[in-house]
Every structure is written in C-alpha cells, then in structure tokens.
C-alpha cells in the first residue's frame, strides 16, 4: 500500500469513527515537515501521526499501484496489547477497517528493543509494503 492511499484510508476511517471529533491530513493541519500523516482529536486528545512507507518489493511509483489482497481478512483479535493511547487508537482504527490488504500490526512502545521516545505502529500489507505510523504528538 502506498503512503497516499494509506493516508486516505486512515483519514476516512477517522472521520467515520464516533470517538473522533476532528480529523485531517497533517498537510491540511498546517504541518509541512511531513508529506503524509494524520491529525485527529479523539476522546479529548490531540494526536498526530507521520506516515512513512516502505514500498512493496519492486514497486515503481511511475506505474499504477498493484493492489494485493491477503488470503484471509485480518483478525482484529491479533492487534497486540499494550502501547500508548495514541498507538492503540491508530492500531485499532486500521484493524477494524476490514482491509483485505492488511496482514499484521506491530505497536512499537511495548517492544523490548524500542528506543526511548519512539512511539508508533507498523502496518504490514499483503504486497510486502509497510507503513510506519510514527506518533509525533
């Protein structure tokens, strides 16, 4: 999954979540340091995420994206436990999307090897792409 499509997915999911009071892209929120991301207010908490992509093997951005679906839908029970509220929010939001492309989710802060202050979520997709959603606020 390419970052612009993930950004659109996350924005649509956030806008349709009853817990979310406001949702926009980072760019529309006035954040110019990062090309892709999401700014949301949910449960009285302002959250911002930068989206960084690792393209699928052999992806060429000058060609149309090839969408690959997983053999079976992602099991929402497979979302890891723990993590900061921001990490949990985004992991749960995307896990509930029903995306046939999503194959795994990793929340960063509970990992034993996680660096201090490094918070976010990695989303793994059937086409081998990854989206790293870093909490920036």
Residue 48 pLDDT exceeds 90: yes
For residues 44-54, give the mean pLDDT: 96
Radius of gyration of the chain (CA): 14
The parent domain of residue 60 ranges over 3-135
Q: In which order are the strands placed within the sheet that holds 102-107?
A: 20-25, 37-42, 45-54, 130-135, 120-125, 102-107
- Integer CA distances (angstroms), 44 to 34, 99, 135, in order: 24, 27, 17
pLDDT tens-place string over residues 70-120: 988 899 888 988 999 999 999 999 999 999 999 999 999 999 888 888 999
Strands 20-25 and 45-54: unpaired
Tally of domains in the chain: 1
Encoding tokens for residue 127? 């086409």
Encoding tokens for residue 27? 């760019």
């Amino acid at each position: 999954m390419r970052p612009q499509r993930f950004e659109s997915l996350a924005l649509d999911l956030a806008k349709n979540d009853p817990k979310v009071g406001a949702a926009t892209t980072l760019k529309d929120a006035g954040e110019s340091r990062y090309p892709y991301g999401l700014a949301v207010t949910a449960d009285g908490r302002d959250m911002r995420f930068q989206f960084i992509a690792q393209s699928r093997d052999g992806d060429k951005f000058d060609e149309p994206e090839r969408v690959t679906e997983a053999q079976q839908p992602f099991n929402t029970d497979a979302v890891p436990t723990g993590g900061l509220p921001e990490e949990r929010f985004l992991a749960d939001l995307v896990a509930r999307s029903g995306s046939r492309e999503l194959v795994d989710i990793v929340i960063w802060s509970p990992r034993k090897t996680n660096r201090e202050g490094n918070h976010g979520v990695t989303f793994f997709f059937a086409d081998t792409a990854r989206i790293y959603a870093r909490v920036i606020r």
